[in-house]
Amino acid sequence: MVLLEFQMSPRAEGDSVSAYVAQIIDIIDRSGVPYQLTPMGTILEGEWDETFAVVKACFDHLREVGCSRIGLHLKVDWREGPAGRLQAKTAKVAQLLGRKLRT
């Protein structure tokens, strides 16, 4: 099972990239892969091939809509075992602290 965090930085006309980010989030949401959106990126949870397929679909889309340059930051944590770490990792920290976190 993989937790994959990524951030894509499309380069196009102007400074704002929010319209492109919304398009990639739509691709992620429609993929069916569990994910968590953060202000600085997106975390996917699933098998290796399915999570990387989502990243590739996002990259391919940005190329298709005319982005002439795309930066990609990618972080992967692979571990044998069942799904559910997307929430379980932060829940474990809260349990150890004995309080609800403000995230």
- Rounded to an integer, what distance in angstroms lies between the CA atom of residue 45 and that of residue 2? 6
Question: In a structure prediction context, what are the per-residue pLDDT tens digits for the chain, which is 103 residues long?
Answer: 999 999 999 986 767 788 999 999 999 999 999 999 999 999 999 999 999 999 999 999 999 998 889 999 999 999 998 888 888 888 899 999 999 988 7
Measured from the Cβ of residue 72, the count of other Cβ atoms closer than 10 Å reads 13
CA distances, 3 to each of 16, 18, 23 (Å): 28, 24, 22
This prediction's pTM: 0.88
